[in-house]
Amino acid sequence: MGNEHSNQQPGQPTRSKSLTRTGSKGPEPDLQDDPGRSASPGPSVCSDSELPYISYTVSRPIGDSPKLQPKHLQRGKSATSSPVRTRQPLLAAKSVQSRIRPASFPNKTTKAHTIVVVKPALENNDLEADEDQLRLRSTPMFLPIMRGTLNLPAARDPEVLERLDPGGLVALGSRYQQYLANCADMVAAEQNQLTGRVKEIDSGLNRLMGNLSERQKRFAKLAEKLSKVHEVSSQLNRCHSLLNHLIESMETLNNSLPIDDRLEPFVWTTG
Amino acid sequence: MASASSTSARSLFAESKSRLADRVQVNVNNIASVARQISRGSRASEAVVHSAKAFCQQEQAVANSEDNLKKMTLAVAHLGYQYEAINKNCMLLEDVKEQVRAMQR
């Protein structure tokens, strides 16, 4: 244990620097000694005057990344000295940031649950450029409202709660709620209006369609009736020609009779 | 001394870390419940979803209207033909009148 600590002492400043630098070399020497432990602060940070956890955890995530697999790392460390695994930041890169060099991990490729690389690791080692981490780091240091209530959670609750006024937050929340309700109501009202218009238009079109079809039927009947005019005219023509023929044949017949029996010439008169 | 303080420091920090994590979790959950209350209390999503459903049900009506419009274009074309036919027959009426008058002479 003592040996471990004495090893850790000089290693700590390099560890802290490397975490901000690359993050890849950082945890390795530490975890080589103590694979299952989280990155706890060194003895220099330990002091009773100030709350230790705040100054430590401002710039560093608490504990390890949940994706840390110490067993693999142990095996990896034994196989090679160079780091082959980047520590995944807490705030979630979506891709699996594991770089596997197959030559150095022969046992891994043959395992049943080998790591499947969905997307190759980003070559960007720049952990500091991550937006979310930058924003996290830029939050100012603050002390909790109820200091010292970690150890005694119920000790000064009523006192502090009297001093805390939730009215502002409640007002903000209810205003936002009202605003959301107004926006949603406006949108829903307009949408319902549109729906009503669609219905109106549909019914209007239906009516129009009925009118048109009715008119079409009527006109079809009328057109059929009027088309009889054509028939009438053709029949009239036939009548006319037949009558003329008749008159001619009557003339010839009359002329073929002897003069005594001839009728008077036929004159076409109308009454 | 150094070892004792560092072990105690480590144990101290482990416990405080877990407590801090718990507090943070409680706070985050509280904030989340406040947000959920705001969004549910405003019934924003309900209203919007309701109106969206009603609008979707008009899709059938819209398709119907489109059908009607297409039929109307056809009907208008038919009406045009009928008008032409009626016109032609009206002109023929005049001729027929002439013919009758000619036959009467």
Q: Which residue has the higher pLDDT, B25 or A36?
A: B25
Is A253 near chain B, with CB under 8 Å?
no
- Contact check, Cβ <8 Å, A223/B12: no
The pLDDT, as a whole number, for residue A112 is 72
Q: What values do phi and psi take at A85, rounded to 5?
A: -140, 125
Residue of B nearest to A221 (CA): B82
Within 8 A by CB and 6+ apart from A141, the residues are A54, A55, A58
pLDDT mean across residues, chain A: 67
* Residue from the list B38, B64, B96 with its beta carbon closest to the beta carbon of A232: B96
The answer for A135, left when phi > 0, alpha when psi is -120 to 50, beta otherwise, is alpha
Is A58 near chain B, with CB under 8 Å?
no
pLDDT classification of B99: cutoffs 50, 70, 90: confident
pLDDT classification of A23: cutoffs 50, 70, 90: very low
Matching residue, tokens 């029996």: A261
Could you tell me the CA-to-CA distances from A224 to A9, A40, A45, A221, A236 in Å, in that order? 111, 102, 107, 5, 19
- Contact check, Cβ <8 Å, B17/A215: no
Residue B17 contacts residue A64 (beta carbons within 8 Å) = no
pLDDT mean across residues, chain B: 86
> How far out from the chain centre does Cα B84 lie?
44
The pLDDT, as a whole number, for residue A117 is 79
User: Which residues on chain B are in Cβ contact (under 8 Å) with A229?
Assistant: 89, 92-93, 96
pTM of the model: 0.48
Within 8 A by CB and 6+ apart from A97, the residues are A86, A88, A121, A122
Is A234 near chain B, with CB under 8 Å?
no
Closest CA to A114 of A75, A66, A65: A75
Q: Is the pLDDT at B13 greater than 90, yes or no?
A: no
* Exposed / middle / buried, residue A92 (Cβ in 10 Å: 0-12, 13-18, 19+): exposed
User: Which residues on chain B are in Cβ contact (under 8 Å) with A62?
Assistant: 17, 20-21
